[in-house]
Amino acid sequence: MITLYAFGPMFGLPDPSPFVIKAEALLKMSGLPYRRDLTGFSKAPKGKLPYISDDGKIIADSSFIRLHLERQHAIDFDAGMSSRDRGIAWAIEKMCEDHLYWILVNYRWLDDANFAKGPAHFFDSVPGPMRGLVKHMVRRQMRKTLHAQGIGRHSWAEMNELGDLALASIAATLGEQPYLMGAKRCGADATVFAFVASILCPHFDSPVRTLAERHDNLVAYCNRIKQELFPDDAPVQSAT
């Protein structure tokens, strides 16, 4: 039995981490039985979630989880796709993880209103007198991380422009198809769904959410995959 170590549903999403949503989407797509454990963060081998345990073998990082499922359980999430399409899908997936993600983090952590109704709650269990200081220190560290990554060096207007281009490129690739690369779901759909649904999350306000909402096909795509893989959750967002 596979155990997925996750943060747990929050903000109307299956998980506050798009990487955890991606890993859970892959598990659901695999059809393998799994359970969720919300207590594993302190033991995360890379200090981050998600990771899984598969019959005692620990695999950390959503990409290695995918590779493990493919190799260990003989699953090809991209079955039937040409090597060109596999390449495009992988590139889009990494654009979501290594580019769009940081714009999402910026708006969740550095926008005061979003932080207060979102990540601030990660610290609710910190004892009262310490809580403000811990929140302040973690937020300051996040600002430094965004600066080191590079996205934090841009103005928010520039970030929006980059976010707009990334979302437009996903929407253009998707076009009128039901899934990113055509009529069949592929591995990258787990990722694109996870990151776009996280951006569309109505709990948070941001210009990039508004930009994503303009793409009716992206909104419909997220709602379609949510319905297929996470049917108990509320719709991502209605098209505007």
* Non-local CB neighbours of 184 within 8 Å, separated by 6+ positions: 79, 80
Instruction: Establish if 63 lies at the interface with ligand GSH (CB under 6 A).
Output: yes
Residue 138 Cβ vs ligand GSH, minimum distance, rounded to whole Å: 9
Query: Cβ(239)–Cβ(213) under 8 Å?
Result: yes
Q: What is the dihedral of CA 152, 154, 156, 159, to 10 degrees?
A: -90
Q: Which helix (H) or strand (E) holds 113?
A: helix 112-117
SS3 35: strand
Q: Which CB, 171 or 190, lies closer to ligand GSH?
A: 190
If binding is defined by CB under 6 A, does position 5 make contact with ligand GSH?
A: no
Cis-peptide into 235, omega within 30 deg? no
Nearest distance in Å: CB 172, ligand GSH: 25
| Window of 46-54, 66-74, 117-125, 162-170 that interacts with ligand GSH by CB under 6 A | 46-54
Q: Binding segment for ligand GSH among 44-52, 75-83, 87-95, 116-124 (CB under 6 A)?
A: 44-52
CB 202, CB 155: distance < 8 Å? no
Stretch that binds ligand GSH, among 41-49, 85-93, 161-169, 223-231 (CB under 6 A): 41-49
180 sits near ligand GSH (criterion: CB under 6 A): no
The binding site for ligand GSH (CB under 6 A) comprises: 17, 19, 47-50, 61-63
